[in-house]
Amino acid sequence: MGDIAIRVQGISKQYRIGKKERYKTLRDTLASTVTVPFQRAGRLLRGEGLETAERDEMIWALKDISVELRRGEAIGVIGANGSGKSTFLKILSRITEPTTGFADIYGRVGSLLEVGTGFHPELTGRENTYLNGAILGMRRDEIDRKFDEIVAFSEVERFIDTPVKHYSSGMYLRLAFAVAAHLEPEILLVDEVLAVGDAGFQKKCLGKMGSVTKEGRTVLLVSHNMGAIAQLCERTVHLEQGRLKCVGPSAEVVSAYLSSSVGADVKSIWFNDSSKPNHAEVRFISARLLSVDEQPLSVVRFDSAFFVEIAYAVSVPIRDLSISYKVHDTQGNLVFEAMDTDMPEWKGRVRGPGQYRSICEVLPSFLKPGRYHISLCSFIEHVKIIEKQESILSFDVSEVGYPLNPGRLGIVSPVLQWKVIE
């Protein structure tokens, strides 16, 4: 076993299209034995081949997935809708059985696959906390010891003795996550917990999952929040149409995912086609987005700085050359423009022939969460525009680290310094 928490070997899951999978009774089995031959005969009379008919009614939600998760590791699972992420977690949670393959799980599993999974609507928050803990295999004294901490985390103290059917979806989520995370499962499976709840609670969830891994427990997180995946998880699994596309360091997998056909409009690195003749005085060579440690990125935390790097070649001496970029949001609004001649030392200087890199730092806590596009321009101020490259880079600012009201107005959301004087 060693340090392995979960070993998945060749898991596949097949579903019949248009029909819910359900457990069969003995009566169901006997009835299907009698009726199936007549159903097949009917297909033949209608001119449908048996092989085609059977194939058209089945779909592989997962196909031949093999992966190992180590103890104390946080691993993300990403992919487009319908790629098999939730099915994968349901198999690991023993909610459904795989069609083929197996998963060895070494430790007690706590799962939060949907808001309030396992909660009984007629029971109070207090009763559901004890019920959920018992389902997870906890003793009553263990639940007693953690109860106050669970309730404090969930922030539903006033309603803890109210039936959960009266809870809002946010309250449901808070309590459900608090129970799953605090009852000390050795393996925590979480599916889109960050899809509901305000920014403050999302940040609290991320912090709790981070502390869970530091305690030597394993977290498997399914999310469309690429910022959360990149921040929390060391490795990420990318599923595509039920198949394992790749497993690797989260930064690399997330960047590749966002640059793939799933996120075709996200391209954080651009290279000019040097095979095309270009005799202009200035020619853009490349542009890319970089983290503070100079790693390419396409997802930026709200509270993190990043850099825009523009490489270009100058063929003749040019005075007053400016290299600039513009940032637009997805509605086409100009968010801001920056140019390297904003620095006094480059204003009015002559740039001789050669290759250059202009690097601009974008400060943290400035851009609102969302997607942005970058355009490049080289020009001589008040004289002429030399070259333009429209919307060649894209990037996302994630909600991670966003402490402000989600309804805050404005194109940007700078966190500015204030002084309050009494």
Q: Are 8 and 101 in contact (CB under 8 A)?
A: yes
User: What is the C-alpha to C-alpha distance for residues 90 and 96, in angstroms, rounded to an integer?
Assistant: 6
User: What is the C-alpha to C-alpha distance for residues 376 and 339, in angstroms, rounded to an integer?
Assistant: 10
For 81, the 3-state DSSP assignment is coil
The pLDDT of residue 15 is 86
- Greatest mean pLDDT among 112-116, 197-201, 277-281, 375-379 lies in 375-379
DSSP assignment of 221-266, as one string?
Answer: EE-S-HHHHHHH-SEEEEEETTEEEEEEEHHHHHHHHHHSGGGTT-
Q: Where are the beta strands (DSSP E) in 267-383?
A: 269-271, 282-290, 299-301, 306-314, 318-319, 321-329, 334-339, 350-351, 354-362, 370-380
pLDDT tens-digit profile of 25-35?
Answer: 445 554 555 56
More reliable by pLDDT, 341 or 203: 341
User: What is the C-alpha to C-alpha distance for residues 325 and 181, in angstroms, rounded to an integer?
Assistant: 44
CATH topology assigned to domain 269-398: Coagulation Factor XIII; Chain A, domain 1 (2.70.50)
User: What is the C-alpha to C-alpha distance for residues 225 and 240, in angstroms, rounded to an integer?
Assistant: 17
Give the pLDDT mean for 156-185: 84
> How much is the pTM?
0.57
**Tell me, what DSSP letter sits at residue 263?**
G
Give the pLDDT mean for 371-384: 89
With bands split at pLDDT 50, 70 and 90, how would you rate the model's confidence at 263?
A: very low
Supply 58's token pair: 């089945």
Superfamily, domain 4-26+43-262 = P-loop containing nucleotide triphosphate hydrolases (3.40.50.300)
- Where do the domains of the chain lie? 4-26+43-262, 269-398
Provide the percentage of residues in the chain whose pLDDT is more than 90: 30
Supply 7's token pair: 């070993």
- Greatest mean pLDDT among 6-10, 23-27, 49-53, 344-348 lies in 6-10
